Structures are given as C-alpha cells and as structure tokens.
Amino acid sequence: MPYCTRCGREIKEGERCTCQQQNNIPNFNWKMPNGQGTDVNSFLRHVFGLADPIGDPRNKYEHDVPIVPDCVTPDEGEKTICQYDLCRLRSRIKGMQAEGRLQVTNKRIIFRAKGTSLTGPTILQKEFAIAELSGFSIAKNFRFSWIDLLLILVLSFVCGNCMFRGSAALYDSPLLFLAYLVGLAALLASALFLGKHHGFKACLCSLATAGMHVAVTPLALSGNPFLRLVGFLLYLPVLLAGVICLVNIFLFSFKGNLDFNAQTRMGSEVMHLRCEPTGFAGLNPMIRSTFTGYNEVLPARDTDRAIEEIGAIVSDIQKLGDYAIEKWKRD
C-alpha cells in the first residue's frame, strides 16, 4: 500500500491524497521506469538515488506502535506489560536517526529502533529472555560535543559578521541608531522568549553584540565627556549580549547522553546502548562488536520512567511470574 509523500497517509494505488486536494497543491506526475506515477519530489529523489520519504512519523519511527504484536510476532502465551520511548539514536555524519523503544512482556524484553537514513529505512532490534537477566546499568548524563561547538561558533560568527558589516555601512549616518535598536530587540528576544534554545540564543546575541557595538562606538570615541558617558551606559547591553552569547555557545555544546546496559546471569552484555567514541560516527570499520551503527544515544520521553521501573518490573516477573502482569500492566 503506497503512502502520501507529503503527509504520510496511507492511500490507494493511483489515488490523490486529500491534503493535496484541500490545499490545491499541483500534482505534477512523472512516470518512473517501472511505469508508476509519482510527483516532482519523488522524481528528484529518484534522480539523486535517495530513498522515498515517509511523512507520517508513525510509519517513519513507529510512534506509539506496540512492538508486540504489531512489529514482532508474539510468543506462545506472551502478554505485553509496558513499553517505553527509551532513546533517540543519531549519526549526523551518516544522515541516520531512529527512535528506540523498549517493551517488557512476561517472557521477553525487546528493544526496537525504527529510523531513517539517506538511502532508506533502518531497523535495530534486540531481544532477550527475562529469565536470563541479572541486572541493568543505566546512566543519564551529558557529554561535550566538539562538532556542535564548531557548528555554533561558525553560525554565531556568520550572524555577527553580517550584522557588523550591515551596521558599518551606516557609520556616520543618522540611521546608525537603528542598528542599536535592532541589536537591543534581538537581545530582549533571546532573553525573554527562547528559553533553552541555546543555538538560537547564541546567534541572536552574536548579532546583537555586533550591531550595538558598531552603533555605540562613535559615542565612546567622542571628545564630549557627556557623550562618552552616554556611550558607556549604552555599552552595558553590549557586554550583556556578549556574555549571554558565550554562555549559550558553551551550553549548546553539551548534549544529553544515555548509557543503557543489560547483563545476563553469566555476566555477559545482551544489550548496550551508548555514545560510541570510536570509529568517527561509525565510518571507521575498526569498531567494537557492540556498536549499533549510531554514535549518539540521546534520552527520550520515557527515559526517566524506564530508569525508575525497569529493574523492579523484571524482578517481579522473575519472582511472581504472570502474577506481576496486573501490577505493571499499562494499556
């Protein structure tokens, strides 16, 4: 069954999706080599050899889809207990990302990560018997990313440099004060409305610093003591914007990190999800056997709840068997 390339809705063969009909979106058809019609977006992806996109997150990442029985065939007498959105897996170098879910049944623990890449969908799945488990080692923390530091430095420099050049063009012009007002507005917007969006705050504060600095410079260099005093007072927001910019550059470089390790009674690892420091995002073949193909493991919506409950659920199932189902069962 095909899917709409814009909204991801399941449609019949040859049918035009209602989202295109409602918005009067032109549907330029082109015949694929196999004779099937498609739109311009799919045509371009076909030309470049990229995978056809799936717009619906439920199909692309299996949002809120139970692993058993929708994705994995249930065992005889197997009953589902609960499921967690455990983590997000990412490899920006390879253009891969996936959402990892962990499901507990009365017989198994199943981890499944459905995702996308430049060349098609990806699936990572691990499962193991509850009776063999001995414990978990879980750490949720932060790591410093040099790639993100380099990225935000470049973006902040570009924003500040563009504002600096634009303001410098107005030097000795009465309109120069507009650059100060624009920078002040950017500073207020970053401080009041952006919250923890550290990347946007760093770029806006870089822009504010450059614009206000150029606007205040003529006053600071004036021979009039009064104008120099005014320039000094007007320069205080410049210093504030610079400090906020540096702080948010630093904060943007810290990323959430999850290390999830499940072990058997024999002491062997049956599932280990962690940020992989070797192999340069998986491009180097000399990697450990536990590497999943993704070099970043980020916490997700249910990470904290999984950390709190997973050990107790497994312990109760091992001790009480099916009697533990009603205690932990979730719809």
Q: Report yes or no: 184 and 148 within 8 Å, Cβ to Cβ.
A: no
Q: Report yes or no: 139 and 259 within 8 Å, Cβ to Cβ.
A: yes
**pLDDT value of position 134:** 87
Joined tokens for residue 104 = 């507990």
Find how far residue 327's CA is from the centre of its chain. Answer: 34
**pLDDT value of position 243:** 96
Q: Which residues of 252-285 are buried (b: 16+ CB within 10 A; e: fewer)?
A: bbebbbbebbbbeeeeeebbbbbbbeeeebbeee
Closest alpha carbon to 110 in 123, 122, 101: 101
**pLDDT value of position 42:** 63
What is the set of domains in the chain, with CATH numbers? 76-144+271-328 (2.30.29), 146-252 (no CATH)
Look up residue 72 and give its DSSP letter: S
> What does the chain come to in residues?
331
In angstroms, the Cα distances linking 64 to 6, 84, 114, 297, 299 are 21, 9, 12, 19, 17
CA angle 45, 51, 54 (to 5 degrees): 100
Joined tokens for residue 145 = 């990313």
Please, what are the averages of pLDDT over each run of 10 residues along the chain (331 residues)?
57 61 44 51 64 63 89 90 93 88 94 88 90 89 91 96 89 83 93 92 95 89 86 92 96 92 78 68 46 83 93 92 87 64
- Cα separation, 124 vs 139, in Å, equals 21
Question: What pTM value is reported for the model?
Answer: 0.73
| Three-state secondary structure call for residue 144 | strand
- Cα separation, 86 vs 102, in Å, equals 6
In angstroms, the Cα distances linking 31 to 28, 39, 40, 104, 241 are 10, 9, 10, 46, 54
Q: Report yes or no: 245 and 211 within 8 Å, Cβ to Cβ.
A: no
Joined tokens for residue 177 = 């004060």
- DSSP codes joined into one string, 256-303: EEEEEEEEETTS-EEEEE----SSTTTTSS---TT--S-SEEEE-TTH
In angstroms, the Cα distances linking 226 to 220, 222, 308 are 10, 9, 62
In angstroms, the Cα distances linking 111 to 114, 273, 281 are 10, 10, 21
Task: Name the residue with tokens 């992806």.
Answer: 45
**pLDDT value of position 305:** 94
Closest alpha carbon to 276 in 258, 299, 263: 258
**pLDDT value of position 22:** 44
In angstroms, the Cα distances linking 120 to 52, 111, 205, 281 are 7, 20, 38, 18
Identity of the residue numbered 155: L
Joined tokens for residue 16 = 């035009």
